Chain A
Amino acid sequence: MKLIGGYTEEMRESIEMVEKTRDERMKKSFPPMSLEEREEVLNKYHPDYKPDKKRAVKVGPNKGDLAPHEVVDLLEAYPLIDPKEIDLKTIDYDVDLLIIGGGGAGTVAALWANENGVPAENILMATKLRHGDANSMMAQGGIQAADRPEDSPAIHYLDVMGGGHFANKPELVEALVKDAPFILKWHEELGVQYDRNPDGSYVERPGGGTSRFRLHSAKDYTGMEIMRVIRDEFRNREIPVLEFTPAVELLKDSEGNVAGAVLFNMETEQYYVVRAKATVLATGGFGRLHIQGFPTTNHYGATADGLVMAYRAGAKLRDLDTVQYHPTGAAYPEQIVGLLITEKVRGMGAQPVNKNGELFVFPMEPRDVEAASFIRECARGNCVETPTGMKGIWLDSPMIEEIEGEGAIKRNLDAMYRMYKRFGIDMTKDPILVFPTLHYQNGGVEIDAESRTSVNGLFAGGEVEGGVHGKNRLMGNSLLDYNVFGRRAGISAAKFASKRSKPTGLNLKHVDSYIKELEKAKVPKERRSPMLLPDYRGEKVLARMLDIF
């Protein structure tokens, strides 16, 4: 197949149309939708609004609530371990605080627990991949905080509620917007570098559904910059961490408090028993479940393990009926299909246009509305088709250079520029092709403003928890979420741990009773969870696999 600058001849013809309309489009904007118009496009085109793609959970605290089939399949599933085979008398790690998950939320929780009196050696972090292998590392666009005089936490509050379809838990939104400037200050003290204007003020940009410019970024490596600094600080404090050792089940004490977990060393395949006075769940979301077959922006380990464990322990979940599809996942070339194209590309002025070079939507609608509009445009037959049959919308990236001057993409979107260059495309000269991709778990384990779950002894922060974002998260609020609620979880867990003695009577009775419930609901026996990691091995290999070693 002949490629010119990375694109096929058919795609080149469409790019010509995009170029032809660019000057005219530069002068124009597209009106934002009213709430009614938003509802209409969501109802007709957003993947969440297809009733056959969800079902009601048959067991557990959220019995009767709807969630995507892929999520329900994990909730309605038998544990990986047989509780009878686990020796809970021998404790391998005896700590004040167990943190499950080594991404942003877990790291922040550890730092703040340490700050609030829990000595490093009394903390244990257990994580499935390496410390820092998490969506936190991959967030590109930025973090929201209402710190400009033109802005206020109250305006931020209103944006968050509107973006979340007013289904958010108000006390959590209040905590999110009021803590936000403080989080930036904390980052500054640790040495995180945010983009600055020449006068020393922050560069702040708009995000979809934000009514103020409030997005702080570090080029398009914002998540990486924050994550590597907080991880570095964590390492300086010598907080113990077990990598490639996920939790597979929570433990309870004789009073029914969560009191640690059973961990599984994926490399040696042995288990460890952790007894902890308090446990923080920071396992991230479900983005690797490929809900409705969508490609994903998420890291390898985003398999909803924390949801499953917490649910078996009796924690209430919420807002799991909605899934965030990021409007701009890469749709071409094939090697990077589904990977995130940061919203900052639109924030800097690139318009989404169809195959005829027409702008068809306000570029900064909330994510669910923007994504649904892209799908609608394809349904109208106005999409570009790739050689492998993917559909896509052009994101007219060369506009950025026209608006902000030559070199603006390399200065501000280096990760994007680099990724496309690796696959032969120059996004400063040619538009890039995008389509919605699975991005974020809007809901999760319900918490209160102190990051407490409904189960005593269990705290949660970051993507695993729910209530902050309602039915749809806005850009720049996930980095903020994990910092705000990771911190609150660390502080609350430290307080909780300081007030109690060592848990006694470690047990897995909650798992036994969950198994009974599953049996009663006639859940197929072969269904097991947590998933731990997805399996991408080739079909031919799987068909000839022997389990003999």
Chain B
Amino acid sequence: MSEEKMITVYIMGKAYQVPFGLTIMKAMEYAGYRFIRGSGCRAGFCGACATVYRKKGEYKFRTALACQTTAEDGMYLAQLPFVPANRKEYNINELDPEKNVLSEYYPEINRCVSCNTCTKACPQELDVMYYIQAAIRGDYRQVSELSFDCIQCGLCTARCPAEITHYHVAQLARRIYGKYQLKVPEHLEKRLKEIEEGKFDEEIERLKNMSIDELKSAYVQRDIEKIPRGEVSDE
């Protein structure tokens, strides 16, 4: 992290000297690139900065998020500006979760050769191949759990020899699981009914009509739920 130490990175093949300790994204900017594509949240949540790279002297083709990876000396860098992946349209209200909707909409998942390239490509280190296996079985819950942290960068799909669009399959599975297999909690339904019946209207109206001093005193006097300490949750 010393300011003095410089490294060489090859941005799309051209050599640039950049300080050591920057992310790939910041190294490219230091070198003079101003992103239009390839930069989104800059914090590892959006998948805009999917990057392919190779290290000097290696044959291995690596993948990363440019905003979440430190640039190293001798990296050959390129970004994936867009993934033209096949995405199926559907009406979430008209699906039959008893059937394997995933296989119906994305039959190519059955072409998976279990090569595990998708898993190796995933910058989130998800078990992508496992969730494709779960998708073949129609196990929405397992696809959901294994794919939950997917940022939809598309690197899995770009690398897949079977042309599977993993992240779209997973999105469909998560929505089916969320909508059809997770129940809406009773306490929420009850509260919606109370709001509809106007149960809180009078109290909110009273608060709305208070002077600031009255509000302040109501605020100070409100009871605060205690944060439990030292209790082990039953999760």
Chain A positions within 8 Å of B191 at CB level: 146-147, 181
Query: Are A411 and B235 touching (Cβ within 8 A)?
Result: yes
8 Å CB contact of A191 from B37, B91, B176, B215: B176
Q: Is the CB of A297 within 8 A of B43?
A: yes
Asked whether, in the complex, the Cβ of B44 is within 8 Å of the Cβ of A149, the reply is: no
Most buried by B among A35, A137, A146, A221: A137
Top 6 A-B residue pairs of the complex, sorted by shortest distance between their CB atoms: A191-B175, A541-B32, A191-B178, A191-B179, A133-B40, A162-B219
Q: Which of A315-323, A331-339, A512-520 contacts B (4 or more CB under 8 A)?
A: A331-339
| Chain A residue at minimal CB-CB distance from B91 | A236
Interface string of A143-180 (1 = CB under 8 A from B): 00011111011110111011000100011001001100
B124 partner residues in chain A, CB cutoff 8 A: 418
Q: How far is the CA of A138 from the CA of B207 in the complex (A)?
A: 33
A300 CB-CB contact with B under 8 Å = yes
Count class of interface residues, chain B: 35 or more
B203 touches A185 (CB 8 A): no
List 5 interface pairs A-B (beta carbons < 8 Å), by A numbering: A26-B229, A299-B42, A404-B233, A404-B235, A537-B29
- Out of B43, B200, B235, name the residue touching A340 (CB < 8 Å): B43
Q: Fill in one digit per residue for B188-217: 1 if any A CB lies within 8 Å of its CB, else 0.
A: 111110010000100110011000100110
Nearest CB of A to B215, in Å: 6
Q: Which of A181, A201, A405 contacts B232 (CB 8 A)?
A: A405
| In-complex Cβ contact of B188 among A1, A184, A297, A300 (8 A) | A184
Please determine whether A349 and B29 come into contact, CB atoms closer than 8 angstroms: no
Q: Which of A53-61, A89-97, A223-231, A369-377 contacts B (4 or more CB under 8 A)?
A: A223-231
Known: A157-B207, A202-B185. A132 touches B195 (CB 8 A): no
Q: Apart from A130-B48, A161-B215, A235-B87, what are 12 other A-B pairs with CB-CB below 8 Å?
A: A29-B227, A147-B187, A211-B223, A219-B148, A219-B149, A300-B40, A300-B42, A349-B229, A403-B230, A405-B232, A414-B149, A415-B44
CB within 8 Å for A244 and B37 given contacts A129-B48, A166-B216, A224-B45:
yes
Q: Given contacts A300-B39, A300-B41, are A405 and B233 in contact (CB under 8 A)?
A: yes
Distance of B230 from chain A, by nearest CB (Å): 6
Q: Determine if A533 and B34 form an interchain contact, defined as CB atoms under 8 angstroms apart.
A: yes
- Is A423 an interface residue, CB under 8 A from the partner? yes
Nearest CB of chain B from residue A549's CB, rounded to whole Å: 14
Q: Does A211 contact B222, Cβ atoms closer than 8 Å?
A: yes
A4 partner residues in chain B, CB cutoff 8 A: none
Quick check: which of B19-27, B55-63, B106-114, B131-139 contacts chain A, the rest being far away? Answer: B19-27
- With A181-B188, A334-B1 as known contacts, state yes or no: A415 contacts B182, CB within 8 Å: no
Q: How far is the CA of A402 from the CA of B33 in the complex (A)?
A: 45
Q: Within 8 Å of chain B (Cβ to Cβ): is A52? A: no
Min distance, Cβ A265 to any Cβ of chain B, angstroms? 10
**B window 36-84: CB within 8 A of A:** 36-37, 39-46, 48, 68-70
Chain B residues whose C-beta falls within 8 Å of the C-beta of A266 in the assembled complex: 36
What's the Cα separation between A422 and B124 when bound, in Å? Answer: 10
Report yes or no: A221 in contact with B149, Cβ–Cβ below 8 A.
yes
Residues in chain B near residue A336, CB distance under 8 A: 43
Judge if B12 is at the interface, Cβ distance under 8 Å. Answer: no
Question: Interface segment, A192-200, A253-261, A484-492?
Answer: A192-200
Mask, B76-117, CB within 8 Å of A = 1, is 000000000001011110000000000000000000000000
Q: Which of A182, A224, A411, A533 has the most CB of B within 10 A?
A: A224
Within the assembled complex, what's the spacing in Å between the Cα atoms of A410 and B207?
A: 41
Residues of A within 8 A of B144 (CB): 193
Q: Are B46 and A137 in contact (CB under 8 A)?
A: yes
Return the CB mask of A511-549 against B: 1 if under 8 Å, else 0. 000000000000000000000010111100100000000
Residue A212 lies at the interface, judged by CB distance under 8 Å to chain B: yes
- Contacts A35-B220, A191-B177; A154 near B46 (Cβ below 8 A): no
Contacts of A153 in B (CB 8 A): 195, 200, 204
* Contact partners of B14 in chain A: CB under 8 A: none
Q: Specify which chain B residues have a CB less than 8 angstroms from the CB of A150 in the assembled complex.
A: 225
* Distance A408 CA – B182 CA, assembled complex (angstroms): 22
- A32 to B177: give the CA distance in the assembly, Å: 41
The distance in angstroms between the C-alpha atoms of A307 and B216, with both chains bound, is 31
CB distance from B167 to the nearest CB of A (A): 9
Question: Known: A133-B46, A147-B187, A170-B208. Contact between A182 and B229, CB under 8 A?
Answer: no
| Shortest Cβ gap from A26 to chain B (Å) | 7
A154 near B174: Cβ-Cβ < 8 Å? no
Q: Are B177 and A132 in contact (CB under 8 A)?
A: no
**Contact status A188-B179, CB under 8 Å:** yes
Q: How far is the CA of A320 from the CA of B46 in the complex (A)?
A: 28
Q: Which residues of A contact B176 (CB under 8 A)?
A: 191
Contact of A190 with B185 at beta-carbon distance under 8 Å, contacts A418-B44, A538-B32 already known: no
Q: How far is the CA of A316 from the CA of B165 in the complex (A)?
A: 46
CB-CB under 8 A from B40, the residues of chain A are 129-130, 133, 137, 299-300
**A431 contacts chain B at the CB level, 8 A cutoff:** no
Q: Is the Cβ of A198 less than 8 Å from the Cβ of B70?
A: no
**Which of chain B's residues 137-154 have a Cβ closer than 8 Å to chain A?**
144, 148-149, 151-152
Check: A81 CB closer than 8 A to any chain B CB: no
A226, B21: Cα distance in complex, Å: 33
Q: A65 to chain B: closest CB distance in Å?
A: 20
Judging by beta carbons under 8 Å apart, are A149 and B229 in contact?
A: no
On whether the beta carbons of A154 and B204 are closer than 8 Å, the reply is yes
Report chain A residues within 8 Å CB of B195.
153, 178, 181-182
Q: Which residue of A lies closest to B25 (CB)?
A: A536
Q: Is the CB of B21 within 8 A of A335?
A: yes
Is B188's CB under 8 angstroms from A185's CB? yes
| A219-B148, A538-B30 known; A232+B175 contact, CB < 8 A | yes
Smallest beta-carbon distance A518→chain B, Å? 27
Asked if B48 and A133 sit within 8 Å, CB to CB, the answer is yes
Is B15 an interface position by the 8 A CB rule? no
B182 to chain A, nearest CB (A): 6
Query: In the complex the two chains form, is B222's CB within 8 Å of A155's CB?
Result: yes
A378 in contact (CB, < 8 A)? no
| A158 with B207, Cβ < 8 A, contacts A138-B41, A538-B30 known | yes
